[in-house]
Amino acid sequence: PEPRAGVRSGHMPGAHNVPFSALAENGELLSKDRLRKVIEDAGIDLSKPVVTSCGSGVTAAAITLALETLGHTDNRLYDGSWTEWGGLSDTPVVTGKDRQ
């Protein structure tokens, strides 16, 4: 695939938003019960594999840590994350007008 001149706006199809800042309080991860609630409230099905991503892959590591803390081990971290995905011209992107 050919890279684009810039990164598109939007998100990957099927993506759910879990800000890494919602997973911690006072510099520590939330309790397992609270972590599970944040993740499930975001629409993530913990019975399925999860791929974490962010802008570049760095803060997605905090989400992966939270998932692993809950015993969810079928995780992958997309290292290139949105910078790579949104910068390619042939990857599907969901925007405000066609939200999923």
Catalytic residue numbers read 54
Provide the 8-state DSSP code for 75. E
Which candidate, 44, 43, 53, 50, places its Cα nearest to that of 84?
Answer: 53
Structure tokens belonging to residue 34: 């609270």
> Measured between alpha carbons, how far is residue 70 from residues 34, 49, 92 in Å?
10, 13, 30
Instruction: Check if the beta carbon of residue 52 is closer than 8 Å to that of residue 78.
Output: yes
